[in-house]
Amino acid sequence: MGNKTAGGRRPLAVVTGASSGIGLELARECVDGGFDLVVASDDGEIDAAAGFFRERGADVTAITADLSTADGVEALISAIDGRPVDALLANAGRALGKAFLDQDFDRVRGLVDTNVTGTLHLIHRVGQGMRSRRSGRILITGSIGGYVPGPFDAVYDATKAFLNNFSFALRHELKDENVTVTVLMPGPTETAIFERGDLGDTKAGVMKKDDAAEVAATGFKAMMAGDGDVASGLKAKLISAAANVVPSSVLAAAHAKGAKPWSGR
């Protein structure tokens, strides 16, 4: 899919959360793989990222949009401007640390609206076009945390469990439509999500993490191969294996050791 299509255009990839971290690296993988881009983020850094992608030879449309809202998703759809989307990399997400009852519920709602509602809305809008053309690839950034009950990270891990599960269901629904669905399940990765999600005051926040570029390369390769899922990094693969045999109570206790804040509750 790295070559021009029959109409002479380069294929188009839409990447969300593309201003930093895994999303930035996924967009770079797309550019190096021959795609033009529509990229989105909810911060002002997306324009600088777009300049980086243009320097690598891509035609890029960049938009600042809050994908936790219906208006934000529709603004991204408008930026696509009716062009066929060859690959949708639904990567935008938020995290939120600390005990659930100590969290600000507006932030909890924003996390769910970004990770779940906004992701579903975007896939629904773009996926309909893929199905009608009988062509497309969808990559969803889930998490290995979706396999583990996550004390002090409970809502985030639950949203990722939703995405992991949803991806396999959607994949089955589209199996005869020539549209593939892949879920990327990273372990702890070096991104800004820990700082933004108030996870700096935890063992997980300061531990050595996987490199975002390596995670993205793994995910992009799996998407292009049409694989159903891929866990990136040794720790993610170990957690995936353990989740099938270790009781949930044990997994929850282990997760709490890494996610519980050192200060406060």
**CATH number of the domain that residue 126 is part of:** 3.40.50.720
Tokens 């035609």 found at:
59
At 191 the three-state DSSP class reads coil
Q: Is the pLDDT of residue 252 over 70?
A: no
Question: Is 77 part of any domain?
Answer: yes
When pLDDT is averaged across residues 15-37 and rounded to a whole number, the result is: 96
Does residue 4 fall inside a structural domain? Answer: no
Q: Quote the number of domains for the chain.
A: 1
Torsion of CA 27, 28, 33, 34, to 10 degrees: 80
Residue 88 within any structural domain of the chain: yes
| In the predicted structure, residue 44 carries a pLDDT above the cut 50 | yes
CA quadruple 179, 185, 191, 193: dihedral sign: positive
Amino acid at position 52, single letter: F
Which residues form the domain of 219?
12-259
> pTM, whole model, 2 decimals?
0.87
Q: Which residues contact 71 (CB under 8 A, 6 or more apart)?
A: none
Query: In the predicted model, is pLDDT for residue 250 greater than 80?
Result: no
* Mean confidence (pLDDT) of the chain: 86
Q: Catalytic amino acids?
A: 156
Domain-located, residue 26: yes
Report d(CA 26, CA 118) in Å as an integer.
19
Is 186 within a domain? yes
Assess if residue 1 is contained within a domain.
no
Residue 198 lies in a domain: yes
Please give the angle made by the CA atoms of 80, 84 and 88, to the nearest 5 degrees: 70
Judge contact between 26 and 52, C-beta under 8 A: no
